[in-house]
Structure 1
């Protein structure tokens, strides 16, 4: 097989491998390609799939309403893993989104 070097050519081949039930080594040998080339494109394919899923996903934040009597500006987030993140002051929502994305990776 000629060297395939772009996603439009390699992603269908990766999908074929995923459905084949073969190991990467078996599949790449049958298709006359390096196992490392297949492994590289599998990684690129999975990353592209995650990216597409996150772009189409609904926002994961929900509105939080606090009582008007709260005078403190401190904030605390408890992650499902038990990690507690405390802020002494208010932080922008964009910062929270980035922080939670990193913490959930």
Structure 2
């Protein structure tokens, strides 16, 4: 493993330790001697890894789709009604 991969692995491991610690980010950083913005950055990176495309699957309740809203990772929202072809085009635009 190269140095960048080792650092990434260490930081993601710290994120998991923070999540299980019950401490605030500030408390955790003070205890481990790291900067708060560094931990915050790696928390964001770990979230991206769990959803690499930026999209998450949402299933309708009772198989009744009333409207579909696509929310891009940058916050832009597009209402697509129930037109699945339009939803597909919107996803592929990203």
TM-score, normalised relative to structure 2: 0.55
Deviation per residue, 1:11-38 (Å, 9 max, x gap): 0110000000000000000000101100
| Equivalent residues of 1:78, 1:84 under 8 A apart | no
Q: May I ask how many residue pairs the two structures share in their alignment?
A: 72
**Which residue, out of 72, 79, 84, partners 2:67?**
79
Distance in 2 (CA, whole Å) between partners of 1:84 and 1:95 is: 10
Unaligned runs of 5+ in 2: 1-5, 60-64, 70-78
Alignment partner, residue 72 of structure 1: none
Structure 1: which 4+ aligned runs deviate by more than 6 Å? Answer: none
Alignment partner, residue 95 of structure 1: 89
Alignment partner, residue 33 of structure 2: 32
SS of the equivalent of 1:7 reads helix
Distance in 1 (CA, whole Å) between partners of 2:15 and 2:23 is: 12
Structure whose residues are more often helix by fraction: 2
Q: CA RMSD in A?
A: 3.9
Unaligned runs of 5+ in 1: 61-76
Deviation per residue, 1:21-77 (Å, 9 max, x gap): 00000000000010110011011111111228x79x7xx7xxxxxxxxxxxxxxxx8
